[in-house]
Amino acid sequence: MPDTTRWTPARSARDLGRFAKDVRRRRGISQAELADELGLTRQYVSELESGVDNLYITRLFEIFDELGVDVRLAERGDA
Amino acid sequence: MPDTTRWTPARSARDLGRFAKDVRRRRGISQAELADELGLTRQYVSELESGVDNLYITRLFEIFDELGVDVRLAERGDA
DNA sequence: ACGTGATGTCAGGACAATCTGACATCACGT
DNA sequence: ACGTGATGTCAGATTGTCCTGACATCACGT
């Protein structure tokens, strides 16, 4: 059966932050709850979602793990 | 027409480094060339590919931009 | 009008990613 | 045997993420 999943492209740290924000809202958790789970500060989660220019990859995977987000890669332009 | 692209999942910084290494090799460029293009040091590119535990998101996007790699995201578990 | 929960934002400091410079190995051509 | 290109790895310095602590706003219930 085909992949019915909706995949969104990401090209910057801001894209990732916004995506995380949407998912978190849909899951119905607060920034403080998420921050607690991850051992991050509420302030920083806020800044991440507001669109920070850069962050550590480890944070990204921690957040996406907690929120249930998958990341996929592909080479462009090779049929 | 369906998406024939081969997408590989990524769950850690090491996954990303290895993926970048494979693509770079396939494209036939050296670590030094890639580093030059990106304004990074050759040594650091080497360490990235050898599997470093963490890195900045900006580096990731710079590298993937240069190598022609796309990143995409999806929420897990919602049909 | 007041309290409370959720969020945004900012200065100062701690710590980790990244750079600089150096040295080592391996494969290849001559 | 030697030189060269590509790569791996390491100490010391630099740069930027992220934390601490604080303050402000907005929406909601009483």
Alpha-carbon distance of B57 to A57, in angstroms, equals: 6
Could you read off the pLDDT of A33-76 as tens digits, one per residue?
Answer: 999 999 999 999 999 999 888 999 999 999 999 999 999 999 98
Q: Does residue A76 belong to any structural domain of this protein?
A: no
B14 belongs to a structural domain: yes
Confidence of residue B78 (pLDDT cuts 50, 70, 90): low
Cβ pair A8:B60 closer than 8 A:
no
In a domain, A45, yes or no: yes
- Closest of A47, A53, A12, A24 to residue B60, by C-alpha: A12
Q: Do A69 and B75 touch (CB under 8 A)?
A: yes
- Containing structural domain, residue B55: 9-68
Q: Give nearest nucleotide to A21 (CA–C1').
A: C7
Task: Report the CATH number that the domain containing residue B33 is assigned in CATH.
Answer: 1.10.260.40
How many structural domains comprise chain A? 1
Whether residue A74 lies inside any domain: the answer is no
Q: For residue A4, what pLDDT is reported?
A: 85
Q: Kindly report, residue by residue over B6-46, the tens digit of the pLDDT.
A: 899 999 999 999 999 999 999 999 999 999 999 999 999 99
- How confident is the model at residue A69, as a pLDDT? 96
Q: What is the dihedral of CA A12, B5, B46, B48, to 10 degrees?
A: 50
Closest nucleotide to A55 by C1' from CA: D17
Is residue A29 a part of any domain in this protein? yes
| Residue B62: band (very low, low, confident or very high) from pLDDT cuts 50, 70, 90 | very high
- Min Cα distance B49 → chain A (Å) is 15
Q: Is the pLDDT of residue A2 over 90?
A: no
